[in-house]
Protein backbone atom coordinates (compact mmCIF):
# COMPACT_ATOMS: atom_id res chain seq x y z
CA UNK A 1 0.00 0.00 0.00
CA UNK A 2 1.56 3.26 -1.12
CA UNK A 3 1.71 6.31 1.12
CA UNK A 4 0.51 9.68 0.03
CA UNK A 5 3.35 12.13 -0.52
CA UNK A 6 3.03 15.13 1.77
CA UNK A 7 3.72 18.50 0.16
CA UNK A 8 5.39 20.45 2.97
CA UNK A 9 5.21 23.78 1.15
CA UNK A 10 1.43 23.59 0.88
CA UNK A 11 1.10 22.62 4.54
CA UNK A 12 3.34 25.54 5.53
CA UNK A 13 1.25 27.96 3.46
CA UNK A 14 -1.95 26.70 5.09
CA UNK A 15 -0.43 27.05 8.57
CA UNK A 16 0.76 30.60 7.86
CA UNK A 17 -2.68 31.56 6.53
CA UNK A 18 -4.37 30.15 9.66
CA UNK A 19 -2.01 32.06 11.94
CA UNK A 20 -2.66 35.29 10.04
CA UNK A 21 -6.44 34.83 10.44
CA UNK A 22 -6.05 34.27 14.20
CA UNK A 23 -3.96 37.42 14.58
CA UNK A 24 -6.51 39.58 12.76
CA UNK A 25 -9.35 38.22 14.91
CA UNK A 26 -7.50 38.73 18.21
CA UNK A 27 -6.08 42.19 17.49
CA UNK A 28 -8.45 44.80 18.98
CA UNK A 29 -8.98 48.02 17.08
CA UNK A 30 -7.35 50.96 18.82
CA UNK A 31 -8.71 54.44 18.76
CA UNK A 32 -6.49 57.43 17.91
CA UNK A 33 -6.77 58.60 21.51
CA UNK A 34 -5.17 55.41 22.83
CA UNK A 35 -2.26 55.83 20.45
CA UNK A 36 -1.69 59.44 21.54
CA UNK A 37 -1.89 58.58 25.25
CA UNK A 38 0.70 55.84 25.03
CA UNK A 39 4.06 56.72 23.66
CA UNK A 40 5.89 53.66 22.46
CA UNK A 41 9.15 53.04 24.26
CA UNK A 42 12.00 51.66 22.25
CA UNK A 43 12.27 48.00 23.05
CA UNK A 44 15.56 46.34 23.61
CA UNK A 45 16.00 43.48 21.25
CA UNK A 46 16.61 40.27 23.06
CA UNK A 47 18.48 37.54 21.32
CA UNK A 48 16.47 34.42 21.83
CA UNK A 49 18.59 31.38 22.44
CA UNK A 50 17.42 28.20 20.87
CA UNK A 51 17.32 25.57 23.63
CA UNK A 52 18.15 22.87 21.12
CA UNK A 53 21.15 24.70 19.69
CA UNK A 54 24.43 22.88 20.27
CA UNK A 55 26.97 24.47 22.57
CA UNK A 56 30.15 25.86 21.14
CA UNK A 57 33.01 23.49 21.75
CA UNK A 58 35.45 24.83 24.27
CA UNK A 59 38.96 25.36 23.09
CA UNK A 60 41.37 22.88 24.51
CA UNK A 61 45.03 23.57 24.79
CA UNK A 62 46.94 21.61 22.22
CA UNK A 63 49.48 19.36 23.78
CA UNK A 64 53.03 20.05 22.82
CA UNK A 65 54.22 17.27 20.58
CA UNK A 66 57.18 15.56 22.14
CA UNK A 67 59.80 13.81 20.09
CA UNK A 68 59.66 10.04 20.15
CA UNK A 69 62.42 7.45 19.85
CA UNK A 70 61.85 3.97 18.46
CA UNK A 71 63.06 0.77 20.15
CA UNK A 72 62.49 -2.95 19.67
CA UNK A 73 60.93 -4.61 22.69
CA UNK A 74 61.03 -8.35 23.42
CA UNK A 75 57.72 -9.50 24.92
CA UNK A 76 56.31 -12.73 26.31
CA UNK A 77 52.75 -14.01 25.82
CA UNK A 78 51.45 -11.90 28.70
CA UNK A 79 52.65 -8.70 26.97
CA UNK A 80 55.37 -8.22 29.59
CA UNK A 81 58.41 -6.47 28.16
CA UNK A 82 61.51 -8.50 28.96
CA UNK A 83 64.17 -6.62 27.01
CA UNK A 84 64.59 -3.50 24.93
CA UNK A 85 66.98 -2.87 22.03
CA UNK A 86 67.84 0.14 19.89
CA UNK A 87 65.94 0.42 16.62
CA UNK A 88 69.07 -0.37 14.62
CA UNK A 89 69.62 -3.64 16.60
CA UNK A 90 66.62 -5.55 15.27
CA UNK A 91 68.72 -8.68 14.66
CA UNK A 92 69.83 -8.69 18.30
CA UNK A 93 66.21 -8.38 19.44
CA UNK A 94 65.13 -11.27 17.19
CA UNK A 95 68.03 -13.38 18.51
CA UNK A 96 67.04 -12.64 22.13
CA UNK A 97 63.42 -13.64 21.38
CA UNK A 98 64.60 -16.87 19.73
CA UNK A 99 66.87 -17.69 22.69
CA UNK A 100 64.01 -17.12 25.15
CA UNK A 101 61.69 -19.33 23.08
CA UNK A 102 64.33 -22.09 23.02
CA UNK A 103 65.00 -21.92 26.76
CA UNK A 104 61.33 -21.84 27.80
CA UNK A 105 58.27 -23.33 26.16
CA UNK A 106 56.40 -20.04 25.86
CA UNK A 107 56.31 -17.80 22.83
CA UNK A 108 58.28 -14.56 22.75
CA UNK A 109 58.09 -11.88 20.08
CA UNK A 110 59.45 -8.46 19.24
CA UNK A 111 57.39 -5.33 18.81
CA UNK A 112 58.15 -1.72 17.92
CA UNK A 113 58.05 0.57 20.98
CA UNK A 114 58.05 4.38 20.84
CA UNK A 115 59.00 6.35 23.92
CA UNK A 116 59.32 10.11 24.39
CA UNK A 117 62.83 11.52 24.43
CA UNK A 118 63.69 13.13 27.76
CA UNK A 119 66.17 15.96 27.47
pLDDT tens for 6-65 read 788 899 999 999 999 988 887 666 666 665 566 666 666 666 666 777 777 888 888 778
Contact status, residue 72 vs residue 91, Cβ threshold 8 Å: no
pLDDT at 65: 80
pLDDT at 63: 76
Q: Could you tell me the residue ranges of all domains in the chain? A: 68-116
> Measured at the alpha carbon of residue 45, what is the angle toward residues 40 and 46, in degrees to the nearest 5?
135
Burial call 72-96: b when 16+ CB within 10 Å, e when fewer: bbbbbeeeeeebebeeeeeeebeeb
pLDDT at 81: 94
Q: How crowded is residue 97: how many other Cβ atoms within 10 Å of its Cβ?
A: 22
Amino acid sequence: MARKVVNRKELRAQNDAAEAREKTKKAPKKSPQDKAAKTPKPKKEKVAKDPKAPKKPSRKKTAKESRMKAFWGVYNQGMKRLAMFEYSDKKAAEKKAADLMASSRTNHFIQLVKEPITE
